[in-house]
Every structure is written in C-alpha cells, then in structure tokens.
C-alpha cells in the first residue's frame, strides 16, 4: 500500500482540497505572471488573476493583500529568489572567469530569459515611472543584486589576471545591456530587429565579443568558443 496518510483513504475529498489549497499560491503567481506580462500591471485586474487561477477574488486576497503585493511576490518567486542559488554557484565555480561569464549568460537565459518571467523587465521599463514603488522594489530586489553579482565576476577576472578593466562601473553595463536587449526582443514581436534572432548564437557572439574586449593578452590566447547549436 502506498505510504500516504490514513486520512487520505478515509476522506479523499478532504485530502484533495488540502492539496489544492497548498497549490493555490503557486497557481495565483503563475496566473498573475501570465497576465502581467501579456497586459501590463495597470491593465491587469485581480479578478482576472483569480479567475485564471480558478479561485475567487476573496481567496486571492487571503494570500496577497494588494495587487502590488501580488506583483512583488511574482518578482520574488520568478527572479529575485534565484540569487541565492546563483551566489552559491559563484562561490563553487572552479573554472576560469571567461568560462564563468559564458556560464552566467547561458544560465541566465535558461532560467529567466527563456521563461515568461523575462517579460517583467519590459513591464518595469514601460510602467515603472507610473508605479515608482514597484520600480524601487524591482531595483532593490533584482537590479542591485544582479549588478553586484556581475561586478564580483568581473573583479574576480581582474584579480586573477584574466580581465583588464579601466572603468568597472560602466563596463558592468556593457555586459548587462545586450542581455536586456535579448529579453526585450523576446517580448517585442521582432519590433527591435528586422529578422528572427537565434538566442543561442546571439549569446555565443555576445560572450565572444565581450571576452575579446575584457581579457588580458595572456587570457585571450586561451579563449575557446563552443560551437553554435
């Protein structure tokens, strides 16, 4: 017999409802993410989020007191919450810093850029001026930790003699900006370019270009680029 609580056999309906209740926050967050990305923050109504998640508006407010709180939870669940894992991966990484940069770009695309969550960045750029508290939250929970992590990566390269950087503050943005472009492209129906992009080839070309500019002569001779898939 499966190892399940006796209560599930005696009252399967009650057990099913309990499991359903535990799943509701995740279902609400997914519904909210889809609607925020598709319609924007201002145009999304909490009634729509609740309906898409299959619950009442009152049930939604049991978990999230306001639409703003719901949005913050979406950001935390889909992006900000990933920084703990990324920080640990940074500490555990044993390869060269050029290898780390390639890994960073690839995993960022797989975990955020390729997902629906990448549309949050476009939303903030489009509506942040109208909702300054949300913009401040995003800046504090996503932008600053992300910039700090990339800065540490670049500083690691300098310390190890792999990178040569004269202006760290602005080099940071030279690495970040092309990745932001790729997220915006994904949610712009090709409005930013006149042809379909291949994200994998784009990231490979980006990392090749960035590393040729960052690497010291000694480190540059060891650069290798994986073949495009």
Structural domain includes residue 153: yes
Considering 24, 43, 66, which residue would you say is the last residue of a domain?
66
Same domain, 160 and 59: no
Structural domain includes residue 227: no
Q: How much is the pLDDT for 23?
A: 52
pLDDT in tens, 125-141: 999 999 999 999 999 99
pLDDT (mean) for 104-114: 94
Structural domain includes residue 229: no
Mean of the per-residue pLDDT values of the chain: 88
Residue whose token pair is 């993410």: 33
pLDDT in tens, 196-219: 789 999 999 999 999 999 999 877
* CATH code, domain carrying 182: 1.10.357.10
The answer to whether 57 and 119 have CB atoms below 8 angstroms apart is no
Same domain, 84 and 36: no
Q: How much is the pLDDT for 139?
A: 97
- Whole-angstrom distance, CA of residue 122 vs CA of residue 103: 24
Q: Based on the structure, what is the number of domains in the chain?
A: 2
Same domain, 177 and 205: yes
Same domain, 94 and 182: yes
Same domain, 84 and 197: yes
Structural domain includes residue 97: yes
Structural domain includes residue 169: yes
Same domain, 24 and 92: no
| Residue 95, domain extent | 79-220
Same domain, 41 and 151: no
pLDDT (mean) for 182-198: 81
pLDDT in tens, 145-175: 999 999 999 999 999 999 999 999 999 999 9
Same domain, 43 and 104: no
* CATH code, domain carrying 43: 1.10.10.60
Whether 73 shows a pLDDT value over 60: the answer reads yes
* Claim: this prediction has a pTM higher than 0.85: no
Structural domain includes residue 142: yes
Same domain, 191 and 83: yes
Same domain, 86 and 152: yes
CA distances (Å), origin 93, targets 85, 101, 159, 165, 223: 12, 11, 15, 21, 18
Same domain, 174 and 214: yes
Q: How confident is the model at residue 100 (pLDDT cuts 50, 70, 90)?
A: very high
Same domain, 62 and 85: no
């Amino acid at each position: 017999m499966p190892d399940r609580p006796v209560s599930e056999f005696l009252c399967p309906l009650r057990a099913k409802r309990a499991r359903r209740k535990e799943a509701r926050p995740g279902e609400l967050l997914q519904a909210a993410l889809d609607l925020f990305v598709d319609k924007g923050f201002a145009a999304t109504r909490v009634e729509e989020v609740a309906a898409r998640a299959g619950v009442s508006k009152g049930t939604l407010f049991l978990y999230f007191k306001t639409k703003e709180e719901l949005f913050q939870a979406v950001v935390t669940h889909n992006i900000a919450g990933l920084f703990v894992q990324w920080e640990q991966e940074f500490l555990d990484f044993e390869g060269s810093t050029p290898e780390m940069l390639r890994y960073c770009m690839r995993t960022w695309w797989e975990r955020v850029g390729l997902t629906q969550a990448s549309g949050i960045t476009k939303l903030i750029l489009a509506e942040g001026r109208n909702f300054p508290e949300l913009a401040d939250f995003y800046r504090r929970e996503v932008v600053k930790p992300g910039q700090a992590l990339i800065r540490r990566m670049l500083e690691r390269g300098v310390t190890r003699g792999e990178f040569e950087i004269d202006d760290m503050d602005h080099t940071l943005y030279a690495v970040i900006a092309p990745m932001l472009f790729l997220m915006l492209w994904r949610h712009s129906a090709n409005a930013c370019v006149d042809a379909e992009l291949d994200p994998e080839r784009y990231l490979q070309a980006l990392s090749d270009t960035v590393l040729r500019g960052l690497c010291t002569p000694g480190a540059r001779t060891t650069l290798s680029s994986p073949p495009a898939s």
